[in-house]
């Protein structure tokens, strides 16, 4: 195996595609200090900001997804695709990668297509229990497909599938020892139970609306809340910071402390969040977003709920939240069994296992 390798990593659009890509890059750098790593993203998406912050170079393609209704963006799609294939071809010719990795998102389509065409080995990291259209198309030519859930043989060739799990932040592996640090960091009352609400980096409108209507209910339950409402909603909800035992955050920079301090978690069911919550091992209520491709968040949550490892409330059933939550808070046995069961689903070595597969492809 050579000491200096060239790796292209493509993925983005959401944090769920970007953070695994960065985790994989960091692990490659640990093993090969001389590795050259180049990211390829979509020009106007968050990876163009997040990847350079993590210390990596990124090139942008003019690409976006297809909307479900007739829009100008849809009419532009064939032109964007041709432009992106041409740009990806140019990037690959210049960079000469030994391997190309796709973590999902629009930009990974043209990038891995061109890599496949040139005979460069490709690996897909599929985070969800239900793959998106890009990964389904790319899978036919991919060398390996690293997945986080069972039963993906319906979509991918079984001899290519390796169950590795999703890369997670390494600082989450030791959160059981950070309980006091977490409570101090968020200035919490150590005698009270804490509920952590997470709706993704941008925020989740329906989750935020629910929490707003339940503030009196939480007060009656005697719990304190850490509420990550997201970038899009902070201006609207920050006024509740003046309430006792309520803290509203746009973003949580110390997720490890937030998870460590929490006794209960209410969360969306994006792939990265689900993988993190398996490692965290706290009683969790999922409220999946129904507005994502193929309704994959509901499928992600259901795969955990079916193993008696979490609870789920659909957006159409949010009026049941007080009953579900109060029942959980009063049932110590239920809390313990949910914690045990969700911990049993954790795959903490995912990043390392994925890079092992990349090494096999290169050699």
**CA triplet 248, 252, 257: central angle to 5 degrees?**
105
**pLDDT for the residue 46:** 87
When comparing pLDDT for 28 and 2, which is higher? 28
Q: Does 143 show up as a binding residue in the annotation?
A: no
**pLDDT for the residue 73:** 66
Give the neighbor-by-neighbor strand order of the sheet with 36-42.
57-61, 36-42, 6-10, 99-102, 122-126, 144-147, 161-163
**pLDDT for the residue 133:** 84
What angle, 0 to 180 degrees and rounded to 10, lies between the N-to-C axes of helices 332-343 and 321-330? 90
* CA 94 remoteness from chain centre: 31
Helix %, strand %, coil % for the chain, to 5?
50, 15, 35
Residue range 25-37: mean pLDDT, rounded: 95
3-class secondary-structure state, position 38:
strand
- Tokens 């990291």 label which residue? 125
**pLDDT for the residue 218:** 97
CA gap 20, 17 in Å, rounded: 6
CATH, domain 171-343, list 3.40.50.2000, 3.40.50.720, 3.20.19.10, 3.90.1640.10: 3.40.50.2000
Per-residue pLDDT at 340 exceeds 90: yes
- Tokens 């200096």 label which residue? 4
Of 51-60, 125-134, 181-190, 229-238, the poorest mean pLDDT is in 125-134
pTM as predicted: 0.87
**pLDDT for the residue 166:** 94
Q: Does 128 show up as a binding residue in the annotation?
A: yes
Residues of the chain with CATH 3.40.50.2000: 6-168+348-362, 171-343
**pLDDT for the residue 106:** 86
Average pLDDT value over all residues in the chain: 92
Per-residue pLDDT at 121 exceeds 60: yes
Q: Are strands 264-267 and 284-286 parallel, antiparallel or unpaired?
A: parallel
Contacts of 121 (CB under 8 A, 6+ apart): 98, 99, 100, 143, 361, 362
Q: Does 16 show up as a binding residue in the annotation?
A: yes
Joined together, the tokens standing for residue 167 give 């890369």
Q: Does 67 show up as a binding residue in the annotation?
A: no
Nearest residue to 227 (alpha-carbon basis) of 219, 216, 245:
245
pLDDT digits (tens, 9 = 90+) for 246-305: 999 999 989 999 999 999 999 999 998 999 999 999 999 999 999 887 788 999 999 999
**CA triplet 135, 139, 144: central angle to 5 degrees?**
110
Q: Does 74 show up as a binding residue in the annotation?
A: no
Q: Does 14 show up as a binding residue in the annotation?
A: yes
CA dihedral 88, 101, 303, 176 (to 10 degrees): -130
Of 23-37, 82-96, 195-209, the poorest mean pLDDT is in 195-209
Per-residue pLDDT at 236 exceeds 90: yes
3-class secondary-structure state, position 192:
coil
DSSP tag of 275 = H
Per-residue pLDDT at 15 exceeds 80: no
**Percent of the chain scoring above 70 in pLDDT:** 96
Per-residue pLDDT at 1 exceeds 60: no
**pLDDT for the residue 111:** 96
DSSP tag of 143 = S
Joined together, the tokens standing for residue 360 give 């096999």
What is the distance in angstroms between the CA of the first residue and the CA of the last residue of the chain?
Answer: 6
- List the CATH code of the domain at 6-168+348-362: 3.40.50.2000
Joined together, the tokens standing for residue 277 give 């919550």
Q: Does 53 show up as a binding residue in the annotation?
A: no
Residue range 301-310: mean pLDDT, rounded: 96
Q: Could you tell me the pLDDT band of residue 4, with boundaries at 50, 70 and 90? A: confident
**pLDDT for the residue 55:** 95
pLDDT digits (tens, 9 = 90+) for 36-88: 999 999 998 889 999 999 999 999 998 776 655 666 766 777 787 888 889 99
**pLDDT for the residue 126:** 94
Of 75-89, 114-128, 211-225, 329-343, the poorest mean pLDDT is in 75-89
Joined together, the tokens standing for residue 305 give 């709920």
CA gap 297, 289 in Å, rounded: 6
Per-residue pLDDT at 200 exceeds 80: no
pLDDT digits (tens, 9 = 90+) for 142-157: 999 999 999 999 999 9
- Give the sign of the dihedral formed by CA 87, CA 88, CA 89, CA 94: positive
């Amino acid at each position: 195996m050579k000491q200096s390798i060239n790796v292209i990593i493509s993925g983005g659009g959401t944090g769920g595609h970007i953070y695994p890509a960065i985790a994989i890059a960091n692990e490659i750098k640990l093993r090969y200090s001389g590795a050259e790593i180049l990211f390829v993203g979509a020009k106007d998406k968050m990876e163009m900001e997040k990847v350079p912050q993590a210390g990596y170079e990124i090139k942008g393609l003019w690409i976006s997804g297809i909307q479900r209704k007739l829009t100008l963006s849809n009419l532009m799609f064939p032109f964007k695709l041709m432009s992106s294939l041409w740009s990806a071809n140019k990037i690959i010719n210049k960079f000469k990668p030994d391997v190309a990795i796709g973590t999902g998102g629009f930009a990974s389509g043209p990038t891995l297509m061109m890599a496949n065409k040139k005979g460069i080995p490709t690996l897909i990291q599929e985070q969800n229990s239900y793959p998106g259209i890009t990964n389904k198309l790319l899978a036919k030519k991919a060398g390996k497909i690293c997945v986080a859930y069972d039963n993906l043989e319906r979509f991918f060739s079984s001899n290519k599938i390796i169950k590795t799990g999703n890369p997670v932040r390494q600082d989450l592996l030791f959160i059981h020892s950070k309980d006091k640090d977490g409570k101090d960091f968020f200035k919490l009352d150590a005698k009270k139970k804490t509920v952590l609400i997470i709706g993704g980096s941008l925020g989740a409108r329906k989750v935020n609306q629910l929490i707003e209507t339940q503030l009196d209910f939480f007060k009656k339950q005697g719990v304190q809340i850490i509420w990550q409402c997201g970038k899009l909603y902070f201006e609207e909800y920050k006024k509740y910071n003046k309430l006792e035992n309520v803290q509203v955050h746009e973003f949580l920079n110390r997720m490890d402390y937030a998870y460590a301090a929490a006794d209960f978690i209410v969360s969306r069911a994006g792939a990265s969040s689900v993988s993190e919550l398996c490692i965290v091992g706290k009683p969790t209520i999922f409220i999946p977003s129904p507005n994502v491709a193929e309704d994959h968040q509901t499928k992600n949550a259901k795969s955990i709920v079916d193993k008696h490892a979490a609870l789920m409330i659909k957006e159409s059933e949010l009026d049941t939240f007080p009953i579900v939550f109060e029942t959980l808070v009063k049932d110590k046995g239920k809390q313990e069994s949910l914690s045990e069961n969700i911990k049993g689903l954790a795959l903490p070595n995912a990043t390392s296992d994925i890079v092992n597969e990349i090494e096999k492809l290169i050699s």
